[in-house]
Structure 1
């Protein structure tokens, strides 16, 4: 698999199971790009929704994508601490157009005190039925929710103390 070069500016595209585009993040600076993981940073970037709406992110963020896990994490740096928004979805792929993954609706929001909340279970149930998510995908996603919760509890990967701050300092050097 190809991967984006450190310092390059890429787009991130999320799709739905049916292949339709879901959301496009216009620009993310690659801070670490390997075939195994991509760590990127962005701040107040344009996001385009599939329905044509557009909005800007409100704060700096560090994005963590992995080629082996069915989730990705966005650490948002706010005045009162770091909040995480974790998307349950396929491992990333990368081509010259963008970093891409399939978003499977379920999300986990993590608060600065490392408490968390599972979100969008209703949306997952609806889309699972409408788009015929295979049983294998459902099983992988259920295991991935458990794995992500373990990472949060164990302060692993992007939840490790200092991880977001370290990569945010690297991001500031690329701006």
Structure 2
């Protein structure tokens, strides 16, 4: 699978385990696109929810997707520093000009000082029971959450100093 070309605009689509479309980010600029990694950026992009509501993102964001990890990472550039929102979800696929992944509810919110909070554990348990997540999937998701926390603690990948700023500078060259 080839990745999208840098400079192209794509959608980001998240689904639920049952195949239902959950959320769509309309316009994200590809900064790096390979079969394993896609790094994108967006700013004030329209987001459509499955219930028909729409909203617009407030700040520039750098999005990191990997084909082997069960999480994706969004670094949001705010005045007080970079805030991260990490989704526990399936590895991405790229098809029909869109990044697609399954959102498994668990989220990790990481603050500029690298402290973090785990979110939506109750929503995860509800959907795990409603959609009958296999035990092996539950284990994969929890292991990847631990791996993600390790990345935060080790300042690895998008949590590395300057990672988000460098990719944001590249984004600005396309605008």
The two structures share one fold, judged by TM-score above 0.5: yes
Secondary structure of the residue aligned to 2:113 is coil
TM-score under structure 1 normalisation? 0.99
1:118 is matched with 118
Asked if 1 retains the 8 angstrom alpha-carbon contact of 2:71 and 2:88, the reply is yes
2:169 is matched with 169
In the alignment, the residues of structure 1 paired with residue 21 and residue 65 of structure 2 have an alpha-carbon distance, to the nearest angstrom, of 18
Following TM superposition, by how much is the alpha carbon of 1:3 offset from its aligned partner in structure 2, in angstroms?
Answer: 1.6
2:67 is matched with 67
CA deviation digits over 1:109-159, x for unaligned, max 9? 000000000000000000000011111110000101100000000000000
2:141 is matched with 141
In the alignment, the residues of structure 2 paired with residue 83 and residue 166 of structure 1 have an alpha-carbon distance, to the nearest angstrom, of 15
1:95 is matched with 95
Secondary structure of the residue aligned to 1:52 is coil
Asked if 2 retains the 8 angstrom alpha-carbon contact of 1:105 and 1:123, the reply is yes
1:128 is matched with 128
Task: Give the aligned length.
Answer: 175
Asked if 1 retains the 8 angstrom alpha-carbon contact of 2:4 and 2:97, the reply is no
1:5 is matched with 5
Calculate the aligned-residue CA RMSD, in Å.
0.6
TM-score under structure 2 normalisation? 0.99
Following TM superposition, by how much is the alpha carbon of 1:160 offset from its aligned partner in structure 2, in angstroms?
Answer: 0.4
1:104 is matched with 104
2:27 is matched with 27
Moved >2 Å (runs of 4+): none
2:86 is matched with 86
In the alignment, the residues of structure 1 paired with residue 27 and residue 138 of structure 2 have an alpha-carbon distance, to the nearest angstrom, of 31
2:41 is matched with 41
CA deviation digits over 1:54-88, x for unaligned, max 9? 00000000000001100000000000000000000
CA deviation digits over 1:3-44, x for unaligned, max 9? 211110000000000000000000100000000100001001
Gaps of at least 5 residues in structure 2 are none
Following TM superposition, by how much is the alpha carbon of 1:96 offset from its aligned partner in structure 2, in angstroms?
Answer: 2.0
